[in-house]
Amino acid sequence: MNNQELAQQILKYVGGDKNISHLTHCATRIRLNLKDNSKGNLSALSDLDGVLKAQNQSGQTQVIIGAKVKSVFEEMEKMVSIQPSDESEDSEEKNKKGKISVVIETIAGIFSPVIPILIACGLIKALSAMIVNFELVNPESSFMTVLSMFGDLVFYFLPFFLAVSAARKFKTSEYVALALAAAYMYPTIIDGARAAAETGVNTINLFGLPILLVDYKSTVIPIILSVWVMSYVYKKVDKVIPDFLKIILTAMIVIGIMVPSQLIILGPIGSYAGGWLAEFIRWFYTTGGVFSAFLLGGTRSLLTMLGMHYALAPIQIQEIAEKGSSYILVSALTANMAQAGAALGVFLAVKNKAMKTLAASSSFSAFLGITEPAMFGVNLKYKRPFFIALVSSGVAAVFLSLFDTSATAYVPPSLFTLPVFQANSFVYVVFGALISAGLACVLTFLFGVPKAERVKEKTEEKSVTANTDVDTAVEAILSPLEGEVLELTDVSDQVFSQGLVGPGAAIRPVKGRVVAPFNGHVEVMYDTKHAIGLKSTSGIEVLIHVGLDTVNLAGKHYSSKVEQGQEIKAGDVLLEFDVEAIKAEGFDTITPVIITNSQYYEKVETEAAVDVTNESVLIAITKRKSELNNETVSAV
């Protein structure tokens, strides 16, 4: 589906535009605050073509899309008319979420709109570092002066950008917020702070109260703290000012209250808090040694998976502003390289063409700093590659910590931004990235992919003559649907999840079509068409139950292509159904595929957490020795 259609489907499954109180996006995901989270259908969102995963984290619904997130977001913006919530609604929503969730959501909401321009300037700084490192241009040239200006401009004037996004988050006046940022960045304050070391004068007086001269460029906490306080002051002032005087007096009174307050109290508090935070990070990283490095490196992808990594943005920026570099960004570098390496390992290991294509493209984007496609589209599907990446990232972070590695600019850590990372020698930075990616790739190739996915999916018709010397023979059952394979324990219906009907697997279909998984005949065709029973030429009985509780549809949205007793061959279309229509009716389309006469076989094995086509082996059945004597077994 195109971007507009995907946006429409997302709105549909979050309860419509009237259920959205706030809408934003980051590099890979759309972030929505819903008025009623119970109206959001995460399962249906995750099933959409073009959505990698949907989740609710810290009270926020996150729809992970990947590289085209901006285009989909722009389509959604055209369809959404967000009405500002009143104070009682906001208070009730915050009480439901809890304080920690509100803080994380607030930080993410403020920084998400600013991240793209921070990254843009960070990339320019990376380019500048690369040019200097390779001595391509004279560092004192006009070209480098202008290029450095491009790289620094957003970081230098960061309070202005944060003022706008904070004002939007706190639902207050953006222009008054910009005025507060201007007060922090006014030359009297900035120049006075620089001159304080020489003159010894670090304060000016207002009504006998000292205004501390602080260099507020690149700072984070002071302006956010000021806009947050201003949001309450603005509401109080606006309530008492008559309507015909609001346009003249409201902004003037708010600025008159806030500017002295922030310069005397809020700004210094925020500045010192930022400095203490940066010092604490340095202390934790240097005192904890390899333990701290492994902890930061090993957990970074977990934070990304949960959508909590943006909570680290102000800390990293504060580190760079206070100390000139960030240790935390090193963990992001090793995490990105590890996820890229793990996806590359999947690419090398699997034979499924669709998965190879996805793994290759996802690995490439992860090497460029965007890890969600690799993480959600590849590594988490197989599970092991994701955890291998966590360990690999931790090991690489330990290696880099031994050489005092840090980042001098806020950038998406990638192969192209390696020059912003400094160590005792740049060679160590390269080695650290190679260790993270290489270790994850090799371990994933060796241990991360199930054996069944390492063999070619094309199965050939062949016969095996069994005799008394043969202990077992295996018959392969092809997948009757295309989609994601899940364990039966993932099915919400206990009849299937507890194996009461028999062992097997479940498939979340991406296409509304059921085909014959072997040669045989239709044993049972239910009138409601939601389920079909099959029997192979060798006697294996299979039940395919399309959806849960779909018997209640009484055949609606289903179309049978065969009749009971009809002979079938592998690949014949048995049943067609409308996936989206069934979901719209409120039914889960997860489809159990059950071996109903498993008691007659030695072993029934399935492979979970992989994508399958109609040519994939879904279930392998091992026959008992007693059934093999003088019998021809057909493997299809």
pLDDT in tens, 544-570: 999 988 888 888 999 998 888 888 988
pLDDT, tens digit, for every residue of 123-148? 888 888 888 877 788 888 898 899 88
Cα separation, 41 vs 48, in Å, equals 11
CB 108 within 8 A of CB 307: yes
Alpha-carbon separation of residue 390 from 64, 363, 431, 579 (angstroms): 20, 15, 18, 36
Q: How many helices (H) and strands (E) does the chain have?
A: 22, 24
Which pLDDT value is given to residue 340?
A: 95
pLDDT at 605: 84
Closest alpha carbon to 174 in 162, 186, 184, 185: 162
CB atoms within 10 A of CB 220: 25
Given the residues 26, 254, 349, 612, the one annotated as active site: 26
Q: Would you state the pLDDT for residue 631?
A: 43
User: Is residue 143 within 8 Å of 137, Cβ to Cβ?
Assistant: yes
Residue 82, pLDDT score: 64
Measure CA of the first residue to CA of the last residue in the chain; give whole Å: 34
Mean pLDDT by 10 residues, the chain (636 residues): 88 88 78 86 84 80 81 88 50 53 74 80 82 81 89 89 92 94 92 79 82 86 94 93 88 94 92 82 83 91 76 79 85 95 93 81 87 83 91 95 89 86 87 96 91 53 35 74 87 78 88 92 86 90 91 88 88 91 90 87 72 83 60 35
Answer yes or no: CATH 1.10.10.60 is held by domain 3-88: no
Q: How many other C-beta atoms are found inside a 10 Å radius of the C-beta of residue 73? A: 21
Judged by DSSP in three states, 585 sits in coil
Distance, CA of 66 to CA of 373 (rounded, Å): 6
What type of residue sits at position 291?
F
Enumerate residues 6+ apart whose C-beta is below 8 A from 353. Answer: none
CA-based nearest residue to 11, from 34, 523, 29: 34
Residue 26 is among the residues annotated as catalytic for this protein: yes
Q: Provide the phi-psi class of 36: left if phi over 0, else alpha when psi is between -120 and 50, else beta.
A: beta
Residue for token pair 């004037």: 157
Q: Identify which of 193, 269, 200 has the alpha carbon closest to the alpha carbon of residue 228.
A: 269
Q: How far apart are CA 562 and CA 166, in angstroms?
A: 61
β-strand 53-57 against 462-465: which pairing, if any?
A: unpaired
Give residue limits of the domains in the chain: 3-88, 296-454, 462-635
Q: Are 52 and 372 in contact (CB under 8 A)?
A: yes
Q: How far apart are CA 213 and CA 577, in angstroms?
A: 70
Other beta carbons less than 10 A from residue 467's beta carbon: 10
Fold observed for domain 462-635: Glucose Permease (Domain IIA) (2.70.70)
3-state secondary structure of 545: strand
Are 366 and 432 contacting, i.e. CB atoms less than 8 angstroms apart? no
Name the residue among 181, 155, 172 with its Cα closest to residue 87. 172
3-state DSSP percent of the chain in helix, strand and coil, to 5: 55, 15, 30
> Hey, which residues does 205 pair with through a beta bridge?
210
Residue 574's contacts (CB-CB under 8 Å, 6 or more residues apart) are: 480, 514, 515, 516, 522, 532, 534, 544, 560, 561, 562, 568
Please give the Cα distance from 497 to 636 (Å, whole number).
27
* Residue position matching structure tokens 């333990």: 291
Q: Which two tokens stand for residue 428?
A: 């160590």
Structure tokens at 205: 């007086």
pLDDT digits (tens, 9 = 90+) for 213-254: 888 888 888 999 999 999 999 999 999 998 888 888 999 999
Residues 6+ apart with CB under 8 A from 381: 484, 609, 610, 611
Which of helix, strand or coil describes residue 61? strand
Q: Which residues neighbour 76 within 8 Å (Cβ) at sequence distance 6 or greater?
A: 7, 10, 11, 23, 30
Tokens encoding 581: 């229509």
The neighbouring-strand residues paired with 603 are 622
> How far is it, in rounded angstroms, from Cα 296 to Cα 334?
10
- The answer for residues whose C-beta is within 8 angstroms of residue 107's C-beta and 6 or more apart is 310, 311, 313, 314
Token pair, residue 610, equals 């992989």
